[in-house]
Every structure is written in structure tokens, then in C-alpha cells.
Chain A
């Protein structure tokens, strides 16, 4: 890591501390902190708020001494005074800013080009928290984990901060000079040597800029490459309909859903909306019992599969055969009743098809984004046959103005570069050197290009191979626009000036064109002005920006006819043996978020792994190959080899290994570097998502993986109470019978009285899809520290809200349940009465307050917490030094120091704020006026929070449900957080089989 740094001169420190009078020693320490050596040292001590994961002993030893000094002082602190602080008002205070009150601005989070509308909270100009935009079709007020974490990317101190030429710092102007020169050379050839490479782009204004630019250089080419893009969808559309088509589904009106190896609930920019629609049909309240039925066929076990009423693990390659079988019998069933399919899953298919056939127009078949073209085509066929098109399945024009096949596009570029046709390559976003298919030899070919320009958030693997690197502006720093899954456009507004002098692609293209000095604002606004000429434009613009959606820009549904013969007979699965499956990582995606500490430390659904990816195998396969968790193996595939640790995943298809992309980065930053292994090294363009013929060889050694959960079995305890809709119909009280509340008076201490509000939470385990959005939301809202792999592995992760995962039944295909576990806020709280210093005590509204500044850290409360929701700062986990990270912090929540306990408090800062506002208006809070961070972000509204004293509140109604129960009720802790039992709606015909 970088240059050897200046050690802090401790003699000087001591002298300094010695000389200074008690009253301003704090100052001295601050001055210390400002000294370069100290800063540099801290940088290494706490790389990116992860206190514990470097083993830089030299740095540590020095750090110790200083910490020693500061701690001694902290000791004295008990009987001395606070430091004198200064306060700096505005010179001219902006009108809309009220110090101490946050503002919200609408914008959108683009992932792989597709937007999710969000509202971003800003404290005096610092974006601190992302909330969903209720108006936006892809959000409906919720977001996914990645959107929540995006705010941390903004402040990432590892983002590239300087424009460089061959590593030397250069001004923007000199880059313009160089670029213009090269461009002028291109003009005579009509830009024949000019190539642009971007990720998927849906921005109309950017597309417009490209068009104008390409008009000037007709022979130039614009390539798009998304390593985890929707290319199968487009390819399939071309094959099926003869034209690129964007497909999306209306799950709210689907009674029967079949997912063909699709993780539609948790992966991809549409997942938030899908999860919401899906859940809207899965809620059982009182005697309103209508519940959709969901079949999932998948290779890798995913949260989506976990939610299925019937889940069938099959190898990715066999999904096509399965789909074909379904297609044929559906086609047949159209003619004469249901006909029996053949093959291994005949019974399953028969029942499934019968079910589908009974729900023509209200059923839907969803092919996996990462499945073969053929499966997509089959899905189109089945949906057509079932008359779902136009009802549950919607076709529109593609979102991308430049809808290309990612791999074809990149291959073409590669060939051109090889042939020396390319003289100037502009890579705007994207990181092909890292994530191009292994068989392209992209890097070598790229080196044949004379002038290579890379624009990106990070000086990453690709910029290493480009002469020019231009720091890109984060989407929260600049103007742009983007389309959502249904085409709805959001105008993205910046919340802060670029922190690191980043420029947007808009600016660069403008610079290449006629208007070098145009600002992104002018560009975007100019474009929309051209779309909306007329006097009312200003108002229109203001409204569009304010609302975060451009009115009626959703793409119109489009009718396309299935080409005859589009459906090809299923190819026999080539190459026997073990299959390898590639998937984008659920959190770091294709690797672009690898340097995000929140996402790295976020336990991945089902595996609960953090900080690493692993080779996932089924229990049976592991047994057959004599593999155990954390065994290192060599994965050899088509002559390429990587070394990976094994993780056994119940429910995974046999003879199939899943590896997640996005790890093994070398230039991601201090967080992402050297985390996991690089699965791209095995990935080839002809089998981008799966292929057979993988060889697994044990390397003989072990590799420690940090998983946050070790036991997935409920040990016969009533933890997640589950049942079927049938059981519920027969006996609505079956839950209460299993979890009995002891009588109230069973307590030594007199019970509390709760006049006024009594806060409570109900969590619907039927709705929760385990997408982790709530966990990151909580982390962002409550300044929760990242602790690093080593500490997670020591079971010291800090998440206040965790999602416990339990398996039921055979490990080959278990039922899986998710249980989000925040603090239960017990009314008889075991933690409260054991704290010797009243650091955790009962509030008048029934919260278990946690007073960080009073805590001495006995950890007795954590020992005595039956839910183990308390988290302890074993070391100084919070980063108190990196300036950019301080900007992200929520000013309404204390940043915890070393040696104190912390835990969920139902976002008490939000409660107080809302209560104060209500009090000022002399009224009581309306239901839903206070939302906890986890509740606000939950796509399926599985988490409902409110006042249980108000019988009309949503939470009170849910707690009145028959399905409602308290976790570990028998302990008489009287938790304020309760759960609704998890219900499934299995198909009786399959249940019998």
C-alpha cells in the first residue's frame, strides 16, 4: 500500500501532552491528529472504517502508543472539562436550508443503466441516506441493498481523485488538448479509428450526445458491454420476435408464477418492484386468504427459490429441457386437457402445467436473466400459449437506445483492436480489463490501441492499462437521466459538488463535440428543453426534477408476434460432468461495488458469507467429492484455473458449482482488493452463465470464510412458525397453539404503564424475501461501523438488524425461512435489569433505550439477551478520522466509541423528531408518520412499525392477526417486535407425490 509513511514522533507527542495544561489537552490531541505522520498512520490503522483487518504490525505498534496516550487522557477526562469548540455560521445562508433540518431531493440510482427512483436525505448539503421514491414505479418507496449502500460509494476515500496521464497528475485542459488532437486526426477518416465503450446506457440525453458525436464521426463505433447485462433477454427477443424487445411482468395480477432459474425477487434493478407485487399477492389477513402459488426451478439456491411453494433444484443446463417439457405440455393442454410429460420431473410438470392451464392470463413464466436464450424463447412461447401476454407479461421497445448483444459488441471491438483498426478508445465507465470474458484476451488486444482513455469512479484495473484516466463524478454529484424497467425516465440531480473533481460522461462527450465547456446541467436541461419546447418548460422541468419522474415516459406496451419456428428443439446438454454456474454477486454485483464496506460486510442471502465469494456446491455433491466448507479447491474449466474455497449450500442443484463474479479485484481499493477469487478468469463468451466440464481438485489446504451464521436448524424450537394456507384455513389458531404467551402478571417487578405511545413492530415472515435492504438501511441510518473480515469471523459483526435463515427438511431441497431480527424491545427486558449503570433502561414508550455514553461495557446485557441482538464495540470500530466518511454520518445518531454496547432502538432519532414536530402542532402522530429505516426500505412491506396503543394503526391490526406470535414467548420477555407466521401455498397434487 502506497509509500512508506512518516512515523509519528512519539517523543514529541509526549512532550506535547506533557507541556499542555489539562484544560486544552484535547486540542493538543487534535493537533496531533492533524500532523501528517499521525494521519497517515491512522489511514493504515483504519483503512476505510474497517478497524481490524490490516495486520500492519509496525503501524499498529505506533498506533498503540498514541492510543495509550489518548486513553490515559480519556481517563482523566472524567474530572476535566470539555474542549472549547468553534462554530462557523454561513456567510449568506441559503433560503431553503434550516440548520438541523434535513432536505430530500429526488434522483435515481442507476445499476447497469437501469434506474430506481430514490429520495436522498441531505443534511446541510451532505447526502447521508437514500430512501425510495414512492412516486417511482421501480421503487414504490423502497430500494434494494445496493441503492442503500450507494451513498457510501460517494464518500469512498479510495475513489480516484485526480486526472492522470501515465500516472502523472494532469489538468482537465491538457486532457482536452490531447483528446482534440487525436479527434482531429480522426475527422478525415470519419472517425474510423474511434471507438467508445460504455456499460448499458438508458440515458436519453447521453444517447443524444452519442448520436450527435457519431454523426460527426460516422465511421466511429459505440460499443456497450455489461458483464451481467440483460443480453439473453434481448437475444431471445431477436430470435423470438425478430426485434429487440424489453420484457417485464405484472406479478400483482399473477395467480401462478413459474420462475425458470430466475432470482427476480432479489437480483437486478427490477427486483424491488417485483418483490412488492409478489408480496401483495402473498399476504394472508384474517379471512382474506387469496394467495398466489409460486413454482421455482433453479440451479443455485436463491432467496427467490426460498420463497417458492415448490422449489425444484436442477442444473442450469437442464432448465432448458424442463422448460421445453413444460412448453410442450402447455401447448398440448391448450388442445386437449392436460397431457402427461415424461422425464425425471414428470409428476411435478404435470401438476404445474395443470395449475398454469387453469390460470390462463393470470399466470406467468419468468426466465432467468442469466439463463440461455433458448429458455427465454421457451418462456415467451409458454406465456403466449397461456395468453399471459399483455396481462401479466408486457413487451415494450428496449430501454437501451443502443441495444446490442454485450458479448458480440465486445468481441467486435476486440477484433477491431486486434486488426489495428482502433486508434482511439474511450472507455466511459465499465472495467473490461477486469471483467471481459477470459477468451477475449481483451487486455493484450487493447494494448494495440494508440490512445486509450478511461473514465471511472476508481483508478481500477482498466485505467492501469490506459494512458489517460479521468475521475468520474458519482451519480449523486452530477446531472443525468435514466430509464426504469418500464421506461419511466428520472432526471437525476446532484446533491453535492463533486468531492473529487469528478466529471460526468456528459461532460466528456460535450468536450469531444462542439461545446467543450457545457456543464452537465446545461446538457441535460438543454436536451429536455428540445423535447419540451414551449413557455411552460421551466415549470415542467422543475416539476419533473422535483418529482423524480418525467410524466408519461413509461414505454407503451407493444404487441409482438412469436415467429414460427422460433422455438428450437432443446439441445442435448453438451459436455457431461460437473457444471459451473456464473452469477453476479448479490451485493458487489459484477465487481463495481467491491470497495463498498457495507456491501462487503453484508451477509449474503442463504450463505451468510461476508468479504468473500466461494464455490457453492450442494451437500450431496460435496459428500460425493469429499469436500467440506472452507476446503480450498482448484476449479479447472476449459484449461483455465482458479483456486476457490468451498461452501456447501443446501438446496443447490447436484453436480453443479456456483461461483459469484465481482471478487478477486486487484485495484478496487483498500476494501475490495484481495477479497475473494476472480471468477471472470474462468468465464468465456460462449458460456457466459454456465457450462459443463468443470474439474474440481482439492488443493489440500483450508481458507477461512467469514460467515455470520453457523446453525441453520431450528432444533425443534418454535422460532419461525410456518404452515400452509390449508392448515390456516382449517385452524386459524394453529400459531397461537404453538407459541403461548404467559400471563402478564408473571413478573417479579410491577409492569410498566404506557400512556401515550407504545411503539411496536410486526414482521411478516411470509412477505420477507431476505433481500438485505433493511440491513444496509439500518447501517446507513444508524452510523453502524464496518469491522472487517477478521472481526466478522470472530463473530463481532455490528449489524443491529440481522436476517436469520433457517432450513427445514432434507438438505437437498429444504424449505428455507427468513427471520429479520432487530431488537425485540422487550417489556420485561432481561438486558435492562442486569446493567449495573443503567446504560440500558426502559423508556416511557416501551423502548429499551441504549445510552452509549453511559455504557461501561460489562457485556452482561448481551449475555442475558435471549435474542442476541446486542452488538459490542470490542475495538474502536467507527472510523473517527477519515474526513470524507464523517460527511456520510447521520448527525442525529451518536458515533459509538470503543468498549460500548449498541443495538437497535427502533430508530428512536426518527421517533423523537416526528414527535417534536407533532407536539409543536399540538397533535398526536398519525400512523405511518414515523417509519424505521428498515421499514421504509422494505420492498415487500414485511416490516410494519407503529403505535400499538392506537388500535387503528397498521401494526396494531397485524398484531391482532391470528398468525401473530412473539419469538420465545415462553420466556415472558413480552417483546414489542412480533412475527407473523410464514405461510406457503403448496399444490396439493405435488404435496402428495
Chain B
């Protein structure tokens, strides 16, 4: 009887068997990568805002303290987005007719809030509290990055659970002296681990990894 298959089929079949395995493996890997990618997390992607507010200018340039706008960062879970009033404190005086600032003035006039795009947006089932992190010596820039170098705000880190756990499992790797918490120029010293251990003891920092620490 006649041959059904060409001779090459042998090679083909062998290749396809191994190929199959590799393709499956590749898909799993690609999927995992996608979930961790900045595409999924939106990290490092500047968000477009109704008003192109520049932290670089206000923090880096003018050296305004974080707490001038984010008033409740030391007292509440929520650091607070400044009310239009806060902007107008200065901008009634300077740039008071800049086109760029029209939305702010409009909001102030009409008493309607500005719709900012949320940059750091945790899922609703995650309960993060700014005040305690600040109180325990976690610097603003540790999570939010060098905001003083961000013309438009972006999310510095993935904000994924693994990322949270990095610090919650080994706080000593990231804590800094309380005095430096709000400093945007602070650079961790070479002996961070040593300092970290000291501070962890001094500030009674617990490594909280119970589920209910963040999920309720």
C-alpha cells in the first residue's frame, strides 16, 4: 500500500511533541509576566490630569512640604487630596490668570470639585493606612518614588501584594529615621540593613503579615 506521509513527517512529529511542551510553558510564563508588567500595574505611566500639576515644580522646585497639601497623612488612613482652596491660597496671587489653572479657578467659583485621575489606586478590598506607615518611619518616597522629579505624577511601584510583602516581611530593608520621612532627597545609607534593624527595634516596628492587616 502507498505511503500516506512524506519522510519529513518523522522529524515534524518529533519537533511538534517537544514544541507543544515549550508552547504551553511559554504561555504560562507570558501570562505571569503580563500580570507583573507595568502594563497591568500602570506603574511608571504618567496619568493625564485635568490640571497638569507638577510635583517636580512644587516639591522639587519650590520645596513645598508634602503635608502642606496632603494634610491628613499623619492622622488618617487617607493622605488627602488638597481641596481647590489649597491651590487658590497661592494662585489667587501668582499665575492667577494662567489658562492652565482655569479648571481650578472654575472649581473654586462654581464650588464643583476637580475630577483628578487617581494615580495610586489600591483595590477596594485593601485597607492601607498612611498615618501608621509615616509614624513608623516609612518615607513618602519609599513608596511614591522621587516625586520631586515627576513633572506629571505617576505610580512608582507595582502596588501589588508581593511588593507590599517585601517590606512587611523585612521592614529593616526600607525604614528610615522619622526625621527623614518627609524628605524627598533622602538616600538610604550603604549600611541600610544595620540602620534598619536599629530603627525597627527603636520604633517597635512589627512585621505584620496577618491577612486582616490589610484585608477586611
Contact = CB atoms under 8 A, between A and B. Distances in A.
- A and B in contact, CB less than 8 Å: yes
Contacts of A919: 132, 135-136, 204
Contact of A80 (B40, B85, B117, B132): B40
Contact of B216 (A79, A100, A909): A909
Interface residues of B, number: 49
A854 B123 CA distance: 13
B215 A852 contact: yes
Contacts of A568: none
A98 B83 CA distance: 12
Interface in B92-109: 107-108
B3 interface: no
Q: From DSSP, what is the main secondary structure of chain A's interface residues?
A: loop
A893 B211 CA distance: 14
Interface stretch (B6-14, B60-68, B69-77, B189-197): B69-77
B163 interface: no
B131 interface: yes
B210 A82 contact: no
B35 interface: yes
Interface in B8-35: 31, 34-35
B215 A909 contact: no
Interface in A933-986: none
Nearest to A922: B204
Contact of A98 (B75, B124, B125, B211): B75
A835 B91 CA distance: 56
Contacts of B123: 82, 853
Given A84-B117, A92-B83, A852 B125 contact: yes
B80 A99 contact: yes
Given A79-B31, A922-B204, A89 B114 contact: yes
A892 B216 contact: yes
Given A84-B118, A88-B113, A88-B114, A920 B212 contact: no
Contacts of B132: 916, 919-920
A920 B211 contact: no
A100 B127 contact: no
Given A85-B118, A90-B113, A894-B124, A844 B210 contact: yes
B31 A101 contact: no
Contacts of A89: 80-84, 113-114, 116
A228 interface: no
A844 B135 CA distance: 21
Interface string A92-111: 11000011110000000000
B78 interface: yes
A733 interface: no
B77 to A, nearest CB: 4
A31 to B, nearest CB: 16
Contacts of A72: none
Contacts of A81: 39-42
Given A86-B117, A91-B85, A843 B211 contact: yes
Interface string A325-342: 000000000000000000
Nearest to A81: B40
A84 B204 CA distance: 37
Interface string B49-60: 000000000000
Nearest to A846: B210
Nearest to B35: A79
Contacts of A82: 42, 121, 123
B129 interface: yes
Contacts of A544: none
Contact of A912 (B41, B115, B117, B212): B212
Contacts of A142: none
Contacts of B169: none
Contacts of A746: none
A90 B86 CA distance: 10
Interface in A879-895: 892-895
Contacts of B82: 89
A92 B121 CA distance: 23
Contacts of B121: 82, 84-85
A101 B127 contact: no
B76 A849 contact: no
A86 B118 contact: yes
A101 B216 contact: no
B8 to A, nearest CB: 37
A919 B47 CA distance: 34
A147 interface: no
Nearest to A90: B83
A100 B72 contact: yes
A844 B209 CA distance: 8
Given A82-B121, A91-B113, A92-B83, A843 B212 contact: yes
A845 interface: yes
A712 B154 CA distance: 60
A429 B76 CA distance: 41
Contact of B210 (A85, A93, A849): A849
Interface string B133-153: 001100000000000000000
B143 to A, nearest CB: 17
A351 interface: no
B128 to A, nearest CB: 10
Interface string A852-863: 111000000000
B213 interface: yes
A91 B135 contact: no
B198 interface: no
Contacts of A101: 72, 75-77
Contacts of B213: 843, 912
Contact of A892 (B83, B127, B135, B209): B127
A841 interface: yes
A207 interface: no
Interface string B176-216: 00000000000000000000000000001010111111011
B45 to A, nearest CB: 10
B44 interface: no
A87 interface: yes
A87 B81 contact: yes
Given A84-B118, A852-B215, A908-B216, A99 B78 contact: yes
Contacts of A756: 206
B135 A849 contact: no
A851 B112 CA distance: 37
A847 interface: yes
Contacts of A908: 212, 216
A533 B114 CA distance: 45
Contact of B215 (A842, A894, A895): A894
A905 interface: yes
Contacts of A895: 124
Contacts of A849: 210-212, 215
B85 A92 contact: yes
Nearest to A840: B211
A851 B107 contact: no
Nearest to A915: B132
B50 to A, nearest CB: 9
B5 to A, nearest CB: 39
A893 B136 CA distance: 24
A128 to B, nearest CB: 15
A616 to B, nearest CB: 40
A911 B209 CA distance: 16
Nearest to A97: B72
Given A88-B114, A91-B83, A912 B211 contact: no
A85 B121 CA distance: 8
A908 B208 CA distance: 14
A920 to B, nearest CB: 5
The 9 A-B pairs at the shortest CB distance, nearest first, are namely A100-B78, A843-B210, A88-B113, A100-B76, A849-B211, A89-B81, A90-B83, A853-B125, A849-B212
11 contacts: A86-B116, A89-B82, A98-B76, A99-B78, A100-B72, A841-B210, A847-B212, A851-B211, A894-B216, A919-B204, A920-B131
Given A100-B76, A852-B215, A908-B212, 11 more contacts: A82-B123, A84-B117, A88-B116, A91-B85, A101-B75, A843-B211, A845-B210, A895-B124, A919-B136, A919-B204, A920-B132
